[in-house]
Structure 1
Amino acid sequence: MHLIHTTVVGVLLTLSLSVFAGTAVEQRIIDEALTPLYSPHRAATSTGKVIPEHRFDDAKVCSGCHSDIYREWRSSMMSHSWDDPIYRALLSRASKASDGALDSFCTGCHTPTGLMTGQVTRADNQSPPSVNNPETDLPGVDCESCHNISAISGIDNGSYVMNDAGEKRVKYGPRQNAQSPYHETAFSPLHTESAMCATCHNVTHPLNGVPIERTYDEWFESPYRTAGIGCQDCHMKPVQGNSAIMGPERADRATHWFAGGNTTLLEHFGHQENAKRARALLQSSATIELIDPPTSLTAGQRTTLSLKITNTGAGHKLPTGFPEGREVWVDIKLSDANGKVFYRSGAIKNGKTEPNTKNFMVKLGDKNGKKVEVEVWRVTHIMSDNRILPKGHALVDYAIDIPADVQGPVAVNASVNYWPFSQAFVDNLLGKNKLTVKVETIVSLAKSFKITPTKSSPERLAKH
């Protein structure tokens, strides 16, 4: 048995050291002969055995030396990846629906050390915490989760190798000259690469191979990779400072805010300052402009307005991740001189964007061809994906009937909005009025048009 474990680990380490080349699909390492220790999650340990709980420290222990990094991490979604009420409510449903078969698949990226040690139980998975008091005694993606990873065996479904160095407590990181009086240190090129993020930010359906999430692949196939800009450059933006209180000051100390776009949950957990960072990141991701706008609008006639939305700042598709929820859409309104709105598209009705909204998202389908919105374990295929590519753009057109009696000037106000999940989605999972979803405006546009009078009558306009 020991020989088998040694051979498996050797293969994993050899694969992790190979040079990645070609497309993201070509470089994905999947060896069906390997039996993951935590199936269907692809995580492994360096010994091929479960790691004892006492080998992992609580993040508060790390804060004794890494105070700034701990403070940043504690206000991030990484810190709350386990007690996130949306995740836990989904996990509970998935666990019950699959009779526990999907438990490890989910928990391996939401509480890695909880999975490694076997602390997570089916009762944990099926009992989501209170929305008002969600924290539990299990860590999320904490210090030990990342800094004990010594290799990867692939780029999806948690295919990391967690090192068990016994009582030596070796921590892996991006520095060749790091020293610590508490634990041993080891330089890890992996911790400087986007592939480190891939293992949990590429998600493949464990039963049928459907590519559920592909944030890493989206980046890999983007201009950002070829320009040498990786995940950490945006989400762990470096600053000048000390990694540890006794360590040297560095010009490129990686921040651990892990800025993303989920202001709803950041504010739910009370992290207002980090929510501002997330909001700023969202607002840097896109632009909007009118293409070939008319010089004026003619009363009683139909006009077409064309908008161009460009993904200028996200190194992946806009939006990315968690396809059950992520949505970007255009909310456009036209109003007369008195402020009366006579045209709108993109309003929220019944907790969702209204029908015919110009939106950008992934739609997942089941075996009957029906859209899957919550029960992601039933997904059998991708129905559609019209998200905006990195440095790409989308054109949306609106055919608008201008009222014959409109009083000008007419104001056009359009905004590109985002939410991590719809209010209807949250209400379905948690119950009505348990958590309010914040709609974030990424970018907006305002323009005024003069009105050209016409002899067109309302009757003629209706026939037109």
Structure 2
Amino acid sequence: MDMAVGDEQPGNEKWLEPARSKLMAVMSAMPFFPHRANTTGNLVLDVKDFDDAQVCGTCHVEIYKQWRTSMMSQAWDDPVYRALLKMASEATNGKVDNFCTGCHSPIGLTTGQITSQVNRSSIEDSAMNHPMPGVDCETCHNISARTGLDNGAYVMSPRAHGRPTKYGPRKDAVSPYHDTVYSALHTRSDFCATCHNVTHPFSSVAVERTYDEWLESPYSFNNETCQDCHMPGFAGKAAIMGPDRERVASHWFSGANATVLSYLGQHEAAQRARDMLASAAEMQFQPLPADMLPGQYTTVAVKVANVGAGHKLPTGFPEGREIWIDFQVRDATGRELYRLGAVKDGKTEEDTRNFKVHLGDKDGNELDIEVWNATQILSDNRILPKGYIVREFSFQVPADAVGPLTLTAHLNYWPFSQKLADYLLGKDKMQVEVTRMASVTQRVPLLKALASAATGTP
């Protein structure tokens, strides 16, 4: 079919478009309120309009295999998400049911399967009684347009011309099973914006802004898209009956959540997440003194640069995502003289030099979990794409320290704290991985003469 969609160019609209007041006045414009998903004709779709992803896998063998290991495939069954969803549904009396689910099971939302009962059920119960896919083949390749840049503002059109229709990035794609429609939207980052920009549906606070972070970055100016990093190409066939291609977009959708992937048994995917984190940042000491003096205070500066992420470090899920510096000083005997950045009681210790978004409620109290109560951003000290931040550590060198001193800084990441995982799932039900993104070590001598005088050595 000689058709194309999504040729409009994206703008830098950070808030709801069209204006929230207009959407509120015309409720039919948001049939799945407060989520912004839409369908052709604003109608609830039929479950029979969609195939199981396994059907897609019969022809798109390698792509299906890759997707099956991804967090996209687990978007609905992610245990941390489901625990938070249950809490949010109960706390808001169901007001956020559609909102949360519309980007974790778009087909579940647009086919009218979402209820408070489903959202509050266990993963095992919903799998048996209300099976719904996460973000699967049928989700992304049935999106025909977007109506905005946040909160799931996609348009789902599974049978736009009376038979199965799939939208994608190729103009020469032909299938014996479904119609194929070229979609320029699928080649651009604003396709991802619909679910990777999240605005609180009632307070309008910007909860997540991954797309906007990219849009205002050097990557956007250089036409490097989300797909370039998260769907890198490989040589092969997109479908078993299709032609050999120099570049087929991979469907691993590698991100940073090694913890949940490992928990679900997807160990190769977890390693890809670790590799992506390792390529995202670099760390170095700012010029250190030639030597240090026992008994005196000294300050060490550490520079952390975002060299590989097209968005802030970290990005997404503000209640959980955290990067921090674990800084340690040891003397020649191995004795720990100073440390800041340890994990204590399931969270980073007080005053840790971290990089994170802190959300607050109407009274200015920081929110660790209850994002549905967020009305403001208290602080955001994350690292911009191609940017850097310098953090300082001040400590006293003990008078009896034995030189030389070894200074070590580790840059760590976790998708959420162990304390949060224990609270949501139960003590030690999920072991949260602390992924090391970068490390730097350097030795600094102690002044021997002054060290001897300080310790009373003849």
Q: TM-score range by the shorter chain?
A: over 0.9
Classify 1:330/1:202 alpha carbon distance in 2 versus 1 (closer, same or farther; 3 Å): same
Alignment match, 1:224: 219
Instruction: Give yes or no for contact 1:30–1:154 (8 Å, CA) kept in 2.
Output: no
1:163: Cα distance to partner? Answer: 0.7
1:303: Cα distance to partner? Answer: 1.1
1:86: Cα distance to partner? Answer: 0.4
Alignment match, 1:61: 55
Matching residue's letter, 1:320 = T
Alignment match, 2:290: 295
1:135: Cα distance to partner? Answer: 12
Instruction: Give yes or no for contact 1:300–1:403 (8 Å, CA) kept in 2.
Output: yes
Number of residue-to-residue matches in the alignment: 444
Classify 1:242/1:417 alpha carbon distance in 2 versus 1 (closer, same or farther; 3 Å): same
1:114: Cα distance to partner? Answer: 0.7
Alignment match, 1:137: 131
Alignment match, 1:150: 144
Instruction: Give yes or no for contact 1:358–1:396 (8 Å, CA) kept in 2.
Output: yes
> Which runs of structure 2 are paired with 1:386-397 in the superposition (5 Å)?
386-397=381-392
1:127: Cα distance to partner? Answer: 1.6
Instruction: Give yes or no for contact 1:20–1:27 (8 Å, CA) kept in 2.
Output: no
Alignment match, 2:255: 260
1:120: Cα distance to partner? Answer: 2.6
Q: 109, 113, 117: which is aligned to 1:115? A: 109
Distance 2:41 2:130 in 1: 29
Distance 1:287 1:294 in 2: 21
1:309-346 deviations in Å (ceiling 9; x for gaps) = 00000000000000000000000111111111110000
If the length of structure 1 is used for normalisation, what is the TM-score?
Answer: 0.92
Alignment match, 1:19: 9
Counterpart of 1:105 in 2: which secondary structure? Answer: helix
CA RMSD between the two structures: 2.1
Q: 22, 30, 49: which is aligned to 1:33? A: 22
> Which runs of structure 2 are paired with 1:265-414 in the superposition (5 Å)?
265-414=260-409
- Structure 2, unmatched stretches of 5+, are none
Distance 2:399 2:139 in 1: 64
Q: Which stretch of structure 1 is more off in the superposition, 32-41 or 92-101?
A: 32-41
Counterpart of 2:102 in 1: which secondary structure? Answer: helix
The yes-or-no answer on 1:51 pairing with 2:64 is: no
1:24: Cα distance to partner? Answer: 4.2
Matching residue's letter, 2:216 = E
Distance 1:281 1:136 in 2: 34
Instruction: Give yes or no for contact 2:403–2:445 (8 Å, CA) kept in 1.
Output: yes
- Structure 1, unmatched stretches of 5+, are 1-12, 459-464
Distance 2:332 2:342 in 1: 21
The yes-or-no answer on 1:236 pairing with 2:231 is: yes
Alignment match, 2:193: 198
Classify 1:325/1:81 alpha carbon distance in 2 versus 1 (closer, same or farther; 3 Å): same
Distance 1:142 1:19 in 2: 25
Identity %: 50
Classify 1:87/1:399 alpha carbon distance in 2 versus 1 (closer, same or farther; 3 Å): same
Q: Which stretch of structure 1 is more off in the superposition, 407-416 or 169-178?
A: 407-416
1:17: Cα distance to partner? Answer: 5.1
1:262-306 deviations in Å (ceiling 9; x for gaps) = 000011111111111111100000001111111111111111111
Counterpart of 1:33 in 2: which secondary structure? Answer: helix
Distance 1:194 1:19 in 2: 11
Instruction: Give yes or no for contact 2:50–2:158 (8 Å, CA) kept in 1.
Output: no
The yes-or-no answer on 1:207 pairing with 2:202 is: yes
Distance 1:117 1:359 in 2: 42
Distance 2:238 2:68 in 1: 15
Alignment match, 1:10: none
Distance 2:96 2:154 in 1: 18
Q: Which stretch of structure 1 is more off in the superposition, 263-272 or 136-145?
A: 136-145
Matching residue's letter, 2:438 = V
Counterpart of 1:280 in 2: which secondary structure? Answer: helix
Distance 2:330 2:260 in 1: 34
Distance 2:424 2:15 in 1: 37
If the length of structure 2 is used for normalisation, what is the TM-score?
Answer: 0.93
Distance 1:242 1:276 in 2: 25
Counterpart of 2:64 in 1: which secondary structure? Answer: helix
Counterpart of 1:296 in 2: which secondary structure? Answer: coil
> Which runs of structure 2 are paired with 1:170-185 in the superposition (5 Å)?
170-185=165-180
Matching residue's letter, 1:190 = L
Instruction: Give yes or no for contact 2:360–2:367 (8 Å, CA) kept in 1.
Output: yes
1:137: Cα distance to partner? Answer: 2.3
Instruction: Give yes or no for contact 1:129–1:135 (8 Å, CA) kept in 2.
Output: no
Distance 1:212 1:33 in 2: 22
